[in-house]
Structure 1
Amino acid sequence: MSELGLHMEVEPPRRPDPEKRGRGPLIAALVIFTLVLLAVGAFFFRDQVLGAAAEDYTGSGGNEVIVQVQEGQTLSDIGATLKEEGVVASAQSFITAASANEQSQSIGPGYYRLAEQMSGDAALNAMLDPANRVVSRVVIPEGLREDQVVKRLTAATDISASRFNRAIKNADQLGLPKFAKGNAEGFLFPATYEFPPGFSARDIIGAMISRFNEAADSLNFVKASKKTGYSPYEVMVIASLVQAEGHPDDYGMVSRVIYNRLAAGMPLQLDATVNYVLKKSEINLSPDQIATSSPYNTYENTGLPPTPINQPGEAAMQAALTPDEGDWLYFVSVNPDTGETKFTADYDEFLKFKAEFERYVAENP
């Protein structure tokens, strides 16, 4: 036997650490538990998310639903809204349909008349159909009086005339320019408006005044008015006269006649101002009508009427700011059908134009 074998110390076998021996099953259990959680999570994600993305109803749906699309919403946002409102089975069913149709990009903010449980394709097609837009659409042409504007607004909405009149009376709280002196006549800007459900009379009048302010800003109206020698409010009065009396091609010349007659101290003698008092739109006033007593009657009073007499458009406002150059003092619309209007600085020539108009009236009773 070698010395190595004689002198080597033999250690007794080590016994397993009881603490470490107990950790093994615990770690294994934790690993198994984690794997189970991951498996359940993966199943839930596949079933609830991926599975839902494939869900879709069939047909055009049942009960009516009004859905609002907000400003700035993407097609994905719209799909989520439709899902929340019960219109589609899943947002993805709408997104898939929208992705396959370029017209889907035209869907804008507003209210849409849809139905519960529509297919994604049916919901998209319904939103692309203008007939399903839920709006009160009203056209306000240039030159309407305030009462005529209210009549159109009342006809286009379920709001009473009294509510509109109340809003107009308090228009200074709705953005009316300070120079308007609290009077909304002339500032209910003519345009085509679409009002969503729930809009109040105040909302609508406020929107119209806001549209006026946009037009005035684009024309730099207040600053430009100073160059005319008249206040911004007086220029708005002139704009309303131009709107009432002129054909668009002649606005600048009509504006010049008004300024020339004001400068000469001549009464304006405009039929439109008498029509305003009478709430009419006559092209051939009678002597009795012309004799109507009113501060608006420019046959009997010199200077401008107290307020605008209608809602002028942007072109008439521009003409009031920058009238054409000329010495004209008179104009006559010799053919109201075509809008042909003749201008002159000579009174005798004016009488000839007037006779031409009277022949038109006689031939067109």
Structure 2
Amino acid sequence: MTGRHPGPHRPDSRPHTERRVIRMSATTGRSFSSVPRDRYVAHPDAETDRHYAAAWRVPEPPPSSSSSESSDEPAEADAGWLLGDDEAHPGGDSVTEALPQGRRPRRRRWLWPGVAAVLVLALVGGVFFARDLWPILFPPDYDGPGDGRVVVEVSDGSSTRAIGEELVAADVVASARAFGDAAEENPNGRGIQPGFYELQHRMSASGAVTALLDPASRVGRLDIRSGVQLDDTAGVGTAIVPGVLSLISRATCTVDESGAERCASVDELRTAMATTDPAELGVPTWAQAGVRRAEPNRRLEGLLAPGTYDIAPGTGAREALEAVVRASAPRLEAGGLVSEAEAAGMQPYDALILASLAEREGVPADFGKVTRVILNRLAVPMRLQFDSTVNYPLDRQTLLTNPYDRARPGPYNTYLNLGLTPTPIGAVSPDALRAALDPDPGPWVYFVKCQTDGISCFAVTPAEHDANRRLAQERGVY
């Protein structure tokens, strides 16, 4: 109460009203009254019957339970609001009719964000294409033959992609993909062999493939043939046969920045062989005792197996020698040298010496018989009397000897000494090693080359041997 007495009750001439229903426009988000026209009555204060405040709602009975339940259900969604396409309702509940004159409704409010999203996606796609797809479709490549000098290694079993990646790391080619494509286009592209190659910086991919297929590009390659000894030897006439030490020296050669060639010299290799402990050089255990007994300059004879080796250009003398010795050991042992020699009651190192003698005295077809002659003479015992052992310390590979040389004392002169030589006398082939471990059976104690192709005639008695010698002379063998 306010303290005032209420006045007399006056009947209200205006009709009783209910609360207006307030709706929100889906377009503007503003509230407005919206009631169908036929549910409203005129109000004396209204300006027009179109005004949203121009009518009062006629009372209506309370809704039934069924209608209240249905009113809780959401109205069906109008998809038009998503793009801002709200249209005016004929019933007069459009907010646009109530907006001030000159103000236009906002439409298509999502148009520009959509365009921006498309542009962003296009930009991202373009960046992805430029970064990832372009190098695949158009791999970078250098032009021309390149410049400078660089040595790269192709490892055994390397794939074309792995080779390309090595070349990229050395700045030989611009991309592994370009190199792979060039290798595929070259009919011999898959024939690249392992080893070291001298190439140039910034070569075209096709030029790099061609260079890797050219034997002239190979560097650091060492080829040891059977029968070759450590030192250079005199061949037929004035020919000089390079020894293993000379071959290793050549394989280590490289060219420095000034253009000068640097190699591990033969003298440096010989010093490393004479002064380094055999175990540190990689000499296998079964050969170390024999190596230590030998002359320092010949102690590794026969332990460098025939075959191909790859030595990195610029490698020092000791490192190069060790690399070849360690790589040779499994090659020598591959045929069962250790186990079969011990099973036959022979030291593996002696079997290696025996095989080297057969290598120098006969041809492969006679290896088995020559080793049998050696074993038969050792069993008597008889001196071997091999010209090859006399010529070995003289660095000669000629067939015959003279009386003076045969009478010269020395540990390798089998005309004067009983037994085997102190060391092998050359590189031993797998065939000769197999013959030493499994010689042909027979009673022979003599042999002589009796055919121009190197085949020998074998004999048991001195008389048979003399007849074979006369036959050889008649055939012009010697």
Same fold (TM over 0.5): yes
Q: How many residues align?
A: 348
Q: 35-44 vs 105-114, which deviates more?
A: 35-44
Distance 1:74 1:282 in 2: 46
Which residue of the partner structure matches residue 132 of structure 2?
Answer: 49
Within 5 Å, give how 1:87-106 maps onto structure 2: 87-106=172-191
CA 1:260 to 1:73, structure 2 compared with 1: closer, same or farther past 3 Å? closer
Of 267, 287, 299, 1:162 maps to 267
Of 198, 205, 210, 1:125 maps to 210
Distance 1:198 1:255 in 2: 41
The alignment status of 1:227 with 2:310, answered yes or no, reads no
Bigger helix fraction: 1
Which residue of the partner structure matches residue 197 of structure 1?
Answer: 313
CA contact (8 A) 1:89 1:117 kept: yes
Of 245, 250, 266, 1:150 maps to 245
Of 376, 392, 411, 1:260 maps to 376
Within 5 Å, give how 1:77-92 maps onto structure 2: 77-92=162-177
- For 1:173, the aligned partner's letter is E
Secondary structure at the counterpart of residue 328 of structure 1: coil
CA 1:29 to 1:160, structure 2 compared with 1: closer, same or farther past 3 Å? farther
Which residue of the partner structure matches residue 288 of structure 1?
Answer: 404
Which residue of the partner structure matches residue 19 of structure 1?
Answer: none
CA contact (8 A) 2:264 2:315 kept: no
CA 1:109 to 1:270, structure 2 compared with 1: closer, same or farther past 3 Å? closer
Secondary structure at the counterpart of residue 306 of structure 2: coil
> Per-residue deviation at 1:116?
4.2
Distance 1:244 1:355 in 2: 22
CA contact (8 A) 1:60 1:119 kept: yes
Question: Which runs of 5 or more structure 2 residues have no equivalent in the other structure?
Answer: 1-14, 30-110, 232-242, 254-262, 292-298
Secondary structure at the counterpart of residue 299 of structure 1: coil
Distance 1:334 1:237 in 2: 25
CA 1:199 to 1:34, structure 2 compared with 1: closer, same or farther past 3 Å? farther
Distance 2:201 2:395 in 1: 49
CA 1:123 to 1:45, structure 2 compared with 1: closer, same or farther past 3 Å? farther
Distance 1:97 1:104 in 2: 8
User: TM-score normalised to the size of structure 2?
Assistant: 0.63
CA contact (8 A) 1:188 1:205 kept: no
Distance 2:448 2:184 in 1: 59
- For 1:177, the aligned partner's letter is P
Which residue of the partner structure matches residue 322 of structure 1?
Answer: 438
> Per-residue deviation at 1:109?
3.9
User: TM-score normalised to the size of structure 1?
Assistant: 0.80
Of 393, 398, 405, 1:277 maps to 393
Of 448, 454, 459, 1:339 maps to 454
- Give me the identity figure in percent: 33
CA 1:73 to 1:220, structure 2 compared with 1: closer, same or farther past 3 Å? closer
Of 347, 350, 365, 1:249 maps to 365
CA contact (8 A) 2:368 2:435 kept: yes
Distance 2:280 2:448 in 1: 41
CA contact (8 A) 1:235 1:320 kept: yes
Which residue of the partner structure matches residue 352 of structure 2?
Answer: 236
Question: Which runs of 5 or more structure 1 residues have no equivalent in the other structure?
Answer: 17-27
> Per-residue deviation at 1:271?
1.6
CA contact (8 A) 1:243 1:313 kept: yes
Distance 1:286 1:174 in 2: 38
CA 1:175 to 1:6, structure 2 compared with 1: closer, same or farther past 3 Å? farther
Distance 1:146 1:277 in 2: 11
